[in-house]
Structure 1
């Protein structure tokens, strides 16, 4: 029988990188929207910080939802 292709440590590291990448993607998106709207550095920074906070909230809820999904399907 074939086992998993990733160890638990590799899976944890990949999940962490995915979460950080998602949060940064949302943060950069907020900054780019502020820049596209013609905002100065203050508003671009605010867009980045706002996107960072929104990304953290989204990741928090997605991780909670995923934990419930895995618990109900007995999948790893």
Structure 2
């Protein structure tokens, strides 16, 4: 049987980049929406900060939910890679 060509380190790094990217995407989209309505600079920066915090919560909730419905094989592989 052919094994995975992705090393556990690469998989970890990709997971971290995905989490950071998803969080920043939500945060920056909040800032872009505030720019579209001609908000002040302070409001735009606060929208980015609050959006980023909400993005972090969404990322945590989404990944927690995904882990609960993953097939057993993926959970076993994750435990083996630790």
Same fold, judged at TM 0.5 (above)? yes
1:46 pairs with 2:66: no
Partner of 1:74: 72
Partner of 1:14: 14
Partner of 2:29: 29
Equivalent positions of 1:50-61 (< 5 A) are 50-61=50-61
Q: Tell me, which stretches of 5 or more residues in structure 2 are unaligned?
A: 75-82
Normalising by structure 1, we get a TM-score of 0.91
Q: Tell me, which stretches of 5 or more residues in structure 1 are unaligned?
A: none
Q: How far apart, in 2, do the equivalents of 1:38 and 1:75 lie?
A: 50
Runs of 4+ in 1 over 4 A off after TM superposition: none
Q: How far apart, in 2, do the equivalents of 1:58 and 1:27 lie?
A: 11
1:65 pairs with 2:72: no
Normalising by structure 2, we get a TM-score of 0.85
